[in-house]
Amino acid sequence: MTGPDYGVPDMTSVDELAVSVYTVPTEKPESDGTFTWSATTVVVTEPSGGGRRGVGFTYGSPACATVIDSHLRSVVVGADAMDVPGAWRQMVQAVRNIGRPGVASAAIAAVDIALWDLKAKLLDCRWSPCWAPAATTWRCTEAAGSPATPTRSSSTSSADGSTTTASPGSR
């Protein structure tokens, strides 16, 4: 069953949540003035559902992957991929007893970003840079209580630097 005129299932479940950890060496040691490092760790999350796969990441400890595997996966897999705020609330509740700041927040952020990406892909949203002159941008708008529907708007810049944005049907 699909939502009215949206072509997206009323509920598309997250079927899987893959997690990968990569350590990327830097060309030379880097520093922020308080600490120096020679590698950066990236935790990548990839939820899938409805035949699509989202991607999200965070820079952080490999412990983020442990939090995802041990605490977040059970609330994300099976969740409605179209209800990202609901999944976020469930993830926050899932880490209540281990503490939300730090590693747990970084883990939640990686999964949250990936779920938004999955939702956009399920809705066939296409994005282009809105700052580019004369760029056509695709946006997803969401009516209260209904799935998002892609809409198109065009932005053009004039010689005086002003920008005009038009949506289909506007003049």
Range 59-78 average pLDDT: 96
Q: How far is CA 126 from the centre of its chain?
A: 14
Least confident among 94-108, 124-138, 140-154 = 140-154
pLDDT(61) > 80: yes
d(CA 25, CA 92): 32
Residue at 126: amino acid letter: R
Contacts of 98 (CB under 8 A, 6+ apart): 67, 71, 104
Q: Please tell me which residue, 117 or 163, carries the higher pLDDT value.
A: 117
- Predicted confidence at residue 168, as pLDDT, reads 42
- Predicted confidence at residue 9, as pLDDT, reads 55
CATH number, domain 16-122: 3.30.390.10
d(CA 134, CA 158): 9
- Predicted confidence at residue 99, as pLDDT, reads 85
Residue 151 in tokens: 């809409």
- Predicted confidence at residue 162, as pLDDT, reads 44
Domain ranges of the chain: 16-122, 125-171
pLDDT(164) > 90: no
Residue at 82: amino acid letter: M
Share of the chain above pLDDT 90, in %: 61
What are phi and psi for residue 110, nearest 5 degrees? -60, -45
Question: What sign has the CA pseudo-torsion 65, 69, 74, 77?
Answer: positive
DSSP sequence for 77-135: TTSBTT-HHHHHHHHHHHTTTT-STTHHHHHHHHHHHHHHHHHHHHTT-----TTSTT-
Range 137-166 average pLDDT: 43
- Split at pLDDT 50, 70, 90, the class of 43 is very high
- Predicted confidence at residue 165, as pLDDT, reads 40
